[in-house]
Amino acid sequence: MSTALAQNEQDLLARVRTGLYIGGEWTDAEEGRTFDVHDPATGAVIRTIADASPADGKRALDAAVAAQDAWAATAPRTRSDILRRAWELVQEHKEDLALLMTLEMGKPLAESRGEVAYGGEFLRWFSEEAVRITGRYGLNPEGTGRMVVSQRPVGPSFFITPWNFPFAMATRKIAPALAAGCTVVVKPAALTPLTTMFFMSLLEEAGLPAGVVNVVQTTRSGALSAPIIADPRLRKLSFTGSTPVGQKLIEQAAQGVLRVSMELGGNAPFVVFEDADLDKAVEGALLAKFRNIGQACTAANRFIVHSSVAEEFANRVAERVKAMKIGRGTEDGITIGPLIDEKAVAKAGELVQDAVDRGARVLAGGHAVESEGTFYEPTVVTEVAAGSDILREEIFGPVLAIATFDTEDEGVRLANDTEYGLVSYVFTEDLARGHRMIDALETGMMGLNVGVVSNAAAPFGGVKQSGIGREGGFEGIHEYLSTKYTLIPND
């Protein structure tokens, strides 16, 4: 695989600004520090960009604070129009955004296009929600006065976004904040910052005032984030990433009693009952597991299949997996791109080996790919024993692990046997059973006979150690609004 960039790739990368975006200006980092962004499919450096310092982070927060009052006072229709224009610009540049994501993150180009469509919908959805922020007015029960309940922006917000969905995770946070009237500092992941930086250029073109959104990419995440979170002017923290990091951030945020939204780890069960339509279940499994190369918090992690259909399900899935094409995401027909780095490849290998050591069988894949990139074969492992690491840890790779159950109660128990609770998937043709699963499974979201649940109009989030708060839907904007009650006496 050649490490040379095609001309269209070079042209696109040359258009990505390399600085920090603070107060409406693209600037160098303190002392001119930079870092390299790599293509995980080849290991090649694709862009060298500014590396923000803690002082740069403070400058970004200063800019957000300075812009807060004016942005909060901006007419909702104006905020709505800017978000709508941003959505239109995303449509105009959808191929640029998709290619940029593939270059820095590795996912197949078709999936990147899907992310652009999905991420763009948050801009459109919240452009519509910006003009629908309401309160209420009415007589109190005693009849002595009028109650006024109003909503106001929470205030300056700090966003820490992950590397696996660099566009959608930015829009899912930025759009509701802007709709509500909050200003923002965004720290994109150092592994995939270019998409956010390109999107910032589109927000600028859409007419976003200076200081409303500020972008500070850095290799020193903790050093930059800690003083921002500790600053008493900050009022909101939103993070998408691992549970251990989220726990530390919540602890830091507690000192300032910040509003927090946390979308954390997942260990999603994919439960296939004996009456499931196996055609639907297999298609759902491929989507739920191998989308984004398995690198998604919503990825199905534990396939819990009724013993009567487990062998057929496993064989049918393995047959499809063996046909998947591995390679750089820009190539035609690629299904599986690279994992994000060598650590991800090593983790996938260790989890598979532990399962095999405990008696599991590998039906497809099971090995790293010898290549200049960071590839791991799409893998199916069946007869996974209880206690295997692969059933407890978030895989974050293209490995499908199958365990079995015999009764509905056992299936529910296995599905809930985790500290996580982001999403679950259930396949059954029994409508009553499906309704029982809605109540029985301890997750914030559930897909019933479907392998993808995310939608901008729906509240995204989990329970237990998978997070706090919701993103998207009617609920999403309320994460950026505070409620104020006023009593007006009759006399």
Catalytic residue among 263, 377, 394, 408: 263
In whole angstroms, give the CA distance from residue 122 to residue 170.
Answer: 10
263 is catalytic: yes
Q: Is the dihedral angle over the CA atoms 13, 17, 19, 21 positive or is it negative?
A: negative
Catalytic residue among 104, 121, 129, 297: 297
User: Catalytic amino acids?
Assistant: 263, 297
